[in-house]
Amino acid sequence: MPGLEPHDGDVVVEKQRMSSFNCTTLDTKLRGLGATTVIVCGAWTNWAVEHTCRDAADLGYETIVVTDGTATISEEFQRAALDYALTTVATRATVDELIAVL
């Protein structure tokens, strides 16, 4: 995607499934870096983002979903994912809230 190209030193993980963890090296790479928190943003909030958050939580990561850094095909699906499905597996935060903490 234009503007999101990897830079030297970036870790790139290719995914072919809904979850960024399923059949990828993401967990291995994160554990190798000593990561304990995963911040998730992206497309298809009610599918790919939700699956990634669930897998991250199952793997023991503190999981944060970026509420204004996700999108899906309708406001109804967006609200269902953020206000219902993800409430038990991820902390919700906006980009501005994350920047203030980081």
Rounded to whole angstroms, how far apart are CA atoms 93 and 26? 22
Domain map of the chain by residue range? 26-101
Six-digit token string for 54: 């669930």
Reply yes or no on whether the pLDDT at 1 is more than 80: no
Q: How confident is the model at residue 4 (pLDDT cuts 50, 70, 90)?
A: confident
- What 3-state DSSP class applies to 71? strand
How many angstroms separate the Cα of 24 from the Cα of each of 27, 52, 80?
A: 8, 12, 27
Does the pTM surpass 0.85? The reply is: yes
Reply yes or no on whether the pLDDT at 75 is more than 80: yes
- pLDDT value at residue 2: 85
Six-digit token string for 75: 């406001």
pLDDT tens-digit map of 17-62: 999 999 999 999 999 999 999 999 999 999 999 999 999 999 999 9
Q: Beta strand 62-71 with 91-93: parallel, antiparallel or unpaired?
A: parallel
CATH fourth-level superfamily of 26-101: Isochorismatase-like (3.40.50.850)
